[in-house]
Structure 1
Amino acid sequence: MRLSVIFKILGILMMLFSFTMLPPLGIALLYDDGQWMRFADALAIVFIGGLLVWAPFHSVSGDLRVRDGFLVTTLFWVVLSVAGSIPFYLSDNPPYTYVDSLFEAVSGLTTTGATVITGIDQLPESILWYRQQLQWLGGMGIIVLAVAILPMLGIGGMQLYRAEVPGPVKDNKLTPRIAETAKALWYIYVSLTIVCAVAYWIAGMTWFDAIGHSFSTVAIGGFSTHDASIGYFNSPAIEMIAVVFMVLSGANFALHFMAWRSRNPLLYWTDSEFKLYIGALAAVSLVTILALILTETLSPFEAVTEGIFQVVSLATTTGFATADFSVWPLMLPFLLFVMSFMGGCAASTGGGIKVVRILLIFRQGSREMKRLLHPNAVMPVKLGNRPVSDRVLQAVWGFFSVYMFMFLVMLVILQATGLDQVTAWTAVGATINNLGPGLGEVTYHYGTINDVAKWVLCFSMLLGRLEVFTLLLLLTPAFWRR
């Protein structure tokens, strides 16, 4: 393991991250909200810290090995979460404890959208901007941006890309060079953000709200500049714009790239994962609309707009809200929450298990039932027209089993801290799926739960963002064995 190269990379990334304090610092000066010194202090602390880590190893060169990539990726999210917590901790309007500061930073960078803050409408503009910006930076993964820069510094980034990009197949690149791949992903990401912001502004948001909500929409984050979230605007047009961009951002960005490069939108309908993704959203939306209408919970128009919005928001793990879905009738709260376990597509900004894994689990289960009737038949599992190797299927099942095992472990720990069953299991589900809102005590925010539970949920958010294995691998003796 090349620790010198790892420290050099972390130092560089910390120094780069320190400059992300400049936009909120500028917002603080523009709105004169009294917070500019906090961001200036945070910039200095993070930059100097990065400089001290980088300086002893600045002349080291070389490529990363596979183990190095996993370690850098995990350390990166941990170190950046700590760095991201500094402006919250330094803030005096309002003051935050350190665990709350860290929780908010981890939630932002992992695009979870769980918050410990109440009174969001009264926050200084710079803090509001910073929360939204954290989600935008975390949405595609700052690592993917970094691998576009690291090759210029003499450090290869393929191992980082494999450790960061979600999904069962991680070796497929959109372009021949990893740096070009990262740039292609970010061009799409930035373009969607700009178009989303303009659409929100045209629909009636202020520029500040439009940009802030475009950050969290495209990042599938869910943070808002208002306590009532998207419901604050009371606008079906804004809700439908959000639906469109949540659906786009929850889809595979590699598929966006291929469709854009070939100028052929029909490519979307040749992709098995995308078809299941859209089909599941449509089916659950229809069930939700019918349930809301038949129980006379909402008018038909409200049932359609709010039903579709909440289904897409929760299924893509965004976490925006226009209504309190926890009080909706029948099985709807449970159904909508469980949809977050599916999450978005592979290589998207969404969380959850990912649609392609659900598809492969279903198809392998179907194959095993057929084998009971035809034990000697050769029946490959396919995605599209391509067979999926047994190695990939084993990895998918391994991921699913470890995902659920860790879910149960954290659920037991949270219940041991005194949380009730509904709060505990939805808090773990909402954080490991990078969703945000849960049920029970965490329906609106996480500010009232105990500090031990918050630490556990910080771990849960990182676990979900790094897709379980990347983080858990570091806790195994085999990883550190020479």
Structure 2
Amino acid sequence: MRIQVILRVIGILVMVFSLSLIPPIIVSLIYQDDTLGAFASALAINLLSGFLIWFPVRNQRADLKIRDGFVVTVLFWFVLGLSGSVPFLISTDPVLTFTDALFESISALTTTGATIITHIDGLPPSILFYRQQLQWLGGMGIIVLAVAIMPMLGIGGMQLYRAETPGPVKDSKLTPRIAETAKALWYIYASLTTVCAVGYWLAGMTLFDAICHSFSTVAIGGFSTHDASIGYYNSVAIEVVCSLFMFISAINFGLHFYAWRNQSVLHYFKDPEARFFIFILFCTVTLTTLGLTLTATYDWDLAFRYAVFESISIATTAGFGTSDFSAWPHFLPFLLIVTSFAGGCASSTGGGMKVMRILLILKQGVREIQRLVHPSAVIPIKVGGKAIPERVVSAVWGFFSAYLIVYVILMIGLMATGIDQVTAWSAVAATLNNLGPGLGDVSANFAGINDPAKWMLCFSMLLGRLEVFTLLVLFTPMFWQR
């Protein structure tokens, strides 16, 4: 383990991250709110902290090995959560405890969107902008951004990319060099954000709201500048823009890369994961529309409108809202929360277990049924006409098992703090899937839950963002053996 090299990387990245406080400072100057001092102090604290970490080990240079990559990835998300919480902690509007400030920061950076802040409409513009910006930075992954600048730091970045990037086949690279891959993904990410902001503005949002919501939409984060979220605008045009970009951002960014490079969209329709994702959305929208209509909750047109938006929002783990789905009748709230377990496609900004894993699990289930009839048959699992290696199928089942075990343990832990079962079940789902809204006491926000529960949910958000294994591997004795 190259501790000094790891510290050098962390120090540099913290100093780089401190520069992200400059845009909120500019916003504070434009709107003349009272947070300029808080952001300026936070910038100085983070910059100095990064410098103090980096300076003693500034001359340590070496390639990162696979274990170093895991440690840097986990450490950086934790350290980044601490750094991101500084403005919330210093600011007098809102007034937050350390636990609440850290919760809000980690929630933003992991694109969970679970907030403990109430009366969002009254927050200073710079704080509103900062929350949205944190989600945007976390959306594609700070580590991928770091990989893009690794050549300038003299440190190999491939191991960081493997530790951060989701999906069962994450060793494949879009371009021959990992730095080029990261840059290409960020170009696409920034372009989608720009187009989304223009779409919101043309649909009727103010320029400030359009920029802020484009950050959280493309990041599939779910933070809004209003307590009522997208429902504040009561605009079909805005909901269409939001739904479209949530869907686009939940698709594998590798497909976006190939569309940009080959100037073709045909591969989207050939991709089995994308097709299965569309099928999930279609079924969810249909069932939700029927449920809302048959229970006379809404008329057909309004039921379809709310069903489309909420189904896409929850299934992609964005968490925006136009209606309080937790108050919908019968099985509908449970159905929507369950869709978040699938989440977005692999290598997207969505959360959850990823659609590809769910698809492989279903195909494995079908294969086991077939084996009951033909015990000696060799039946490969195929996706897109190609056989999936057994080690990948085994890894998916291992991930699925670990995911459920972690879910149960966290849920029991929350209930041990005095939280009721419905709230605990949905709170873990909302954080582990990086979704945001839940049911029960966390349907509106997480302000009312106790501090021990918030710490557990912070851990849950990090587990979800790092896809469980990246974080859990650090707790195994084998990882630390020489």
Distance across 2 between alignment mates of 1:467 and 1:3: 24
Q: Does 1:265 align with 2:238?
A: no
1:284 corresponds to: 284
Q: Counterparts of 2:330 and 2:100 in 1: how far apart (Å)? A: 34
| Partner of residue 3, structure 1 | 3
**Equivalent in the alignment of 2:352:** 352
Q: How far did residue 79 of structure 1 move?
A: 0.2
Distance 1:478 1:13 in 2: 28
Write the distance in 1 (CA, Å) between the matches of 2:357 and 2:93.
43
Q: Does 1:104 align with 2:100?
A: no
Amino acid at match of 1:58: R
Partner of residue 16, structure 1: 16
Q: Which runs of 5+ in 2 are unaligned?
A: none
Equivalent-residue separation in structure 1 for 2:34 and 2:333 (angstroms): 41
Which amino acid letter does the alignment assign opposite residue 25 of structure 1? I
Instruction: Note the alpha carbon deviations across 1:4-61, whole angstroms, 9 max, x for none.
Output: 1101100010000000000001111111111011001000101110011111111121
Q: Distance in 1 between matches of 2:172 and 2:358?
A: 20
Q: Deviations over 1:359-414 (max 9, x none)?
A: 00000111111111112212111110211101001100000000000000010010
CA RMSD of aligned residues (A): 0.7
Whole-Å Cα distance in 1 between the matches of residues 281 and 302 of structure 2?
A: 18
- SS of equivalent residue, structure 1 residue 223: coil
Q: Could you tell me which residue of structure 2 aligns to residue 235 of structure 1?
A: 235
Work out whether 1:118 is the aligned partner of 2:118.
Answer: yes
Once residues 369 and 259 of structure 1 are traced to their aligned partners in structure 2, the CA distance between those partners, rounded to angstroms, is 37
Q: How far does the alpha carbon of each residue in 1:135-168 deviate from its partner, in whole angstroms, 9 at most, with x for none?
A: 0000000100110101121101000000000111
Moved more, 457-466 or 51-60: 51-60
Q: Distance in 1 between matches of 2:264 and 2:128?
A: 39
TM-score, normalization by structure 1: 0.99
Structure 2 partner of 1:138: 138
The answer to whether the 8 Å contact 2:94/2:117 transfers is: no
- 1:304 partner amino acid: F
- Mapping of residues 63-462 of structure 1, within 5 Å: 63-462=63-462
How far 1:315 sits from its partner (Å)?
Answer: 0.3
Q: CA deviation at 1:354?
A: 0.3
* Cα distance, 1:94 vs structure 2: 2.3
Q: Report the Cα distance in structure 1 between the residues aligned to 2:63 and 2:222, rounded to whole angstroms.
A: 36
- The yes-or-no answer on 1:49 pairing with 2:54 is no
Moved over 3 A (4+): none
Conserved 8 A contact 1:240-1:305: no
Q: For residues 345 and 453 of structure 1, what CA distance do their matches in structure 2 show?
A: 29
Give the residue type in structure 2 aligned to 1:18. Answer: S
Q: Is contact 1:345–1:354 with CA below 8 Å preserved after alignment?
A: yes
Give the match's secondary structure for 1:222: coil
Report how many residues are paired: 482
**What's the CA shift string for 1:407-441, capped at 9, x where partnerless?**
00010010000000000010011000000000000
Corresponding residue of 2:61: 61
What runs of 5+ residues in structure 1 fail to find an aligned partner? none
Shift, 1:330, TM fit: 2.0
1: CA distance between counterparts of 2:184 and 2:286?
35
Cα distance in 1, alignment partners of residues 426 and 327 from structure 2 = 15
- Tell me if the contact between 2:259 and 2:265 (Cα under 8 Å) persists in the aligned partners: yes
Provide the rounded CA distance (Å) in 2 between the counterparts of 1:479 and 1:433: 26
3-state DSSP class of the match of 1:446? coil
Which residue identity does 1:200 align to in structure 2?
Answer: Y
Given that residues 11 and 51 in structure 2 are in contact (C-alpha distance below 8 angstroms), is that contact kept between their aligned partners in structure 1? yes
